[in-house]
Amino acid sequence: MKNIIFIAAPAAGKGTASEALMEKYGYAHISTGDILRSMAKEDSELGRTLSDLLSKGELISDSIVYEAVEKRLSMPDLDNGYILDGFPRNIEQAIKYDDILKNIGRDLGIVIELKTPVDILKKRITGRRICKECGQTHNVLTNVNAPKVEGICNKCGGTLYQRGDDNEESFKTRYQTYLDKTLPIIDYYRKKGVLYTLESCDPNETLKEIEALINDYN
């Protein structure tokens, strides 16, 4: 399978689409946000620094991200294709990723931009609740995936929690960072001829469009 890079603002649906593609096609899912959140739980100076930056919605330094990404890309589960969700996030990371690919002998694949209006993103972020047990995402502000019982996962009955950076203040920083730092990489990939932009706000429709791209390319 062709590798996929998702480029999208926070809560545009990268994680949801990635999960569906993992299940259906066996893609490996590499979320730098997930990796960094797990590093932030460590009882160390680095863990505490990461936790503070993540809760404010600020980007983590490139050198830490590169180390985490290179470590993940050296694991043996990538031969059926992998999805990069959250990396690269600025132009320096995009250039560095080209180097990494050369070193590990893998293809860039296709880059999919998910475009979503900011008011929808804000609602998804502030209403997002995640299951501690199975990771299923719910939303208390929309009809889609609303928990049937408050605080309880629809899928497994686990307890729901709110991510530390899923609040309005942090959303502002994360969205502005996306506009300032991440959007320029759209042009970088457009020039390489690998960019596809999808604009539906319906996760099922988005998934269908992604699957059509996958089928065209594999």
The DSSP string of the chain is: ---EEEEE-TTSSHHHHHHHHHHHH--EEEEHHHHHHHHHTSSSHHHHHHHHHHHHTPPPPHHHHHHHHHHHHTSTT-TT-EEEES---SHHHHHHHHHHHHHHT----EEEEE---HHHHHHHHHHEEEETTT--EEESSSSTT--SSTTB-TTT-PBEE--TT-SHHHHHHHHHHIIIIITHHHHHHHHHT-EEEE----HHHHHHHHHHHHHHH-
Q: How far is the CB of 202 from ligand AMP (least distance, A)?
A: 21
Q: Is 33 in the site for ligand AMP (CB under 6 A)?
A: yes
- Residue among 53 and 120 whose Cβ is closer to ligand AMP: 53
The CB-nearest residue to ligand AMP is 33
Catalytic status, residue 124: no
Is 128 tagged catalytic?
A: yes
For ligand AMP, give the closer residue by CB, 175 or 196.
Answer: 175
Whether residue 14 lies in the annotated active site = yes
Q: Which of 113, 174, 185, 210 binds ligand AMP (CB under 6 A)?
A: 174
Instruction: From the candidates 72, 96, 128, 129, give the one annotated as an active-site residue.
Output: 128
CB of 165 to ligand AMP, least distance (A): 6
Cβ–Cβ < 8 Å for 108, 3 = yes
Cβ nearer to ligand AMP, comparing 33 with 81: 33
The least distance separating ligand AMP from the CB of residue 87, rounded to whole angstroms, comes to 4
Binders of ligand AMP in range 66-95 (CB under 6 A) = 86-87, 89, 93
- Residues at the site binding ligand AMP, with contacts judged by CB under 6 A: 10, 32-33, 36, 53-54, 57-60, 65, 86-87, 89, 93, 165, 174
Show which residues are catalytic. 14, 89, 128, 163, 174
